[in-house]
Amino acid sequence: MPASNRDPQASTASAGRWSIARRFFLTSFILIVAQSALSLAISGKLWKDFTSLYLDSVLSRQVLRPLNLVDNQLDLLTAQEAMECCTKKDYKNFLSEIALADGKAVMISGSAGLVPGQGAESLYTSQQLSDFAKLATSNVSRFALVDYGTDRAVAVKSVNLSGGSETGALIYIRPIYNMSLFITLSRIRFLSEIVLMLSLVVLLAIALTYILRPMRSVRSRLSNIQLDNLDTALIPLNGQPVELQPILTEFNRMVQRLETSAQNQKQFASTISHEFRTPLTVISGFIQSVLNRAQDLDSRYRESLLIADKEAFRLNRMLSDLLDLSRADNHQFKVLREPFDCILSCREALRLSQFAFPSNIIRLDDSGLEESIWAIGDPDRLVKCLENLIGNAVKYSEPKSLIELDIVLKDQQVLFSVQDHGQGIPDDQQTRIFERFVRADGVSLRRGETSSGLGLSIVKMLMEGMGGSVSVQSEVGVGSRFILALQRSMS
């Protein structure tokens, strides 16, 4: 049976809705990713342009010398001769004049077909050479970067020969030995963008945590506010962010109004209980005296008087609960905190309850326990708490059901539990039921029983007055176990 401290309303309200922080985070995240993608694309394009421009200019410079050599040869010919001369052999002759080092190669693509120079023939296959030529001549810039494996990339530049388009184009091939450097630089550029993006996201998360910190502290203060600690509920505005201040000002005003109204309510309850008690005692006294003296009373009148007496007793009990609570509110309620034999108190509560609820089976399992166990508290108040819990167990279970009392020693505490096999209490109601006048939704009263919603708040007040506590474990349809805890005493 799990104990529950969750706030059902908060969880229902937040379910399916996104907090402002989450929305802000998501929007910023999308913006950061979009910005990074855009900047990657732009820098990628710039990088590509830069690489090709750089290589193009290097090649253009390098191509000038061989081009001049070929042009010098061609200059000796007339246009007609130039057009006619350009057989494969002629071109081979031109190309043999051009000495190239470092794997660089040159070839001519023209009317005589593709004519490779010496280096080109030995370095590249004829398929590669024709691919290079096609790529270079088809590009507007007449430049191509052909990467067919790290450090096997080549830059290709095509330049028209001065003899005219019929003469052909000189194609210059240059291996790029530093291609791996280009690739590494390109990867670094990519990685640095990603690292920058991730750092921004992390910074955003840290900033959000920092921004939301005041809200969290306000929220934790708010969640601790109860009707009985309204006087400490005001939230100081000093040090709070400017955006929160108007909300907190309104909140503080509301707390003050609530406090005044709670004070009036308490005052009202206290006055009513005082004022009602005396006439009620008189009424009870007269009913008792009639019942005791009028022996020959008609049975129907006797029955009515017995009901009136029972109701007067119930009313009296409720007024005394209300008075106790209002005394506690005014700090006039005395609860002892001294060592006492709590086994005796349990037995007393058992005896009184068995007398009050004869049709139920109420059991105390004290086997295996020492003859006396000492706890710090008030013996009479513990009896009252146990009586209240047993009374509830009876009220919210089937008639004649079993109710079990248990005493357990745990660490430095004595735990008293009252277990029933009744309706159980829904999870989301389990913290509320200790508040005044609160009845759990989804729990119904047995016919003929009455409820004020005060019993558990009295138990809580008395247990806290003794330095102890009360808690509940409950499962709907299985039953409830209320646990009272007092500090153990060794004397």
Nearest residue (CB) to ligand ADP, 90 versus 321: 321
Q: How far is the CB of 351 from ligand ADP (least distance, A)?
A: 20
Nearest residue (CB) to ligand ADP, 378 versus 420: 420
Q: How far is the CB of 226 from ligand ADP (least distance, A)?
A: 15
CA 451 – CA 443 distance, rounded (Å)? 12
- The set of residues, in sequence order, having a beta carbon less than 8 Å from that of 225 and lying 6+ positions away, is 233, 255
CA 97 – CA 110 distance, rounded (Å)? 18
483 is an interface residue for ligand ADP by CB under 6 A: no
Among 291, 348, 439, 476, binds ligand ADP (CB under 6 A): 439
DSSP sequence for 243-281: TTHHHHHHHHHHHHHHHHHHHHHHHHHHHHHHHHHHHHH
Among 66, 116, 422, 468, binds ligand ADP (CB under 6 A): 422
Among 74, 420, 473, 485, binds ligand ADP (CB under 6 A): 420
Q: Euclidean distance between the first and final Cα of the chain, in Å? A: 34
Window contacting ligand ADP (CB under 6 A); options: 153-161, 167-175, 330-338, 445-453:
445-453
Q: How far is the CB of 347 from ligand ADP (least distance, A)?
A: 21
Map residue 65 onto helix, strand or coil. helix
440 is an interface residue for ligand ADP by CB under 6 A: yes
For 314, other C-beta atoms within 10 Å of its C-beta total 12
Edge-to-edge strand list for the sheet holding 113-116:
113-116, 105-110, 169-175, 154-160, 143-146
Nearest residue (CB) to ligand ADP, 362 versus 425: 425
51 is an interface residue for ligand ADP by CB under 6 A: no
Q: Residue with CB nearest ligand ADP?
A: 455
The two tokens of residue 452 are 């004020």
Q: How far is the CB of 309 from ligand ADP (least distance, A)?
A: 20
Nearest residue (CB) to ligand ADP, 179 versus 350: 350
DSSP 445: P
425 is an interface residue for ligand ADP by CB under 6 A: yes
Among 59, 153, 456, 483, binds ligand ADP (CB under 6 A): 456
Nearest residue (CB) to ligand ADP, 144 versus 393: 393
CA 462 – CA 336 distance, rounded (Å)? 10
Q: In whole angstroms, how far apart are CA 243 and each of 237, 247, 357, 447?
A: 11, 8, 59, 54
Residue 87: left if φ>0, alpha if ψ -120 to 50, beta else—which one?
A: beta
DSSP 124: S
246 is an interface residue for ligand ADP by CB under 6 A: no
Q: How far is the CB of 455 from ligand ADP (least distance, A)?
A: 3
Which residues from 359-418 bind ligand ADP, rule CB under 6 A?
Answer: 392-393, 395-396
451 is an interface residue for ligand ADP by CB under 6 A: yes
- Return residues touching ligand ADP (CB under 6 A): 392-393, 395-396, 420, 422-423, 425, 433, 439-440, 443, 451-457, 480
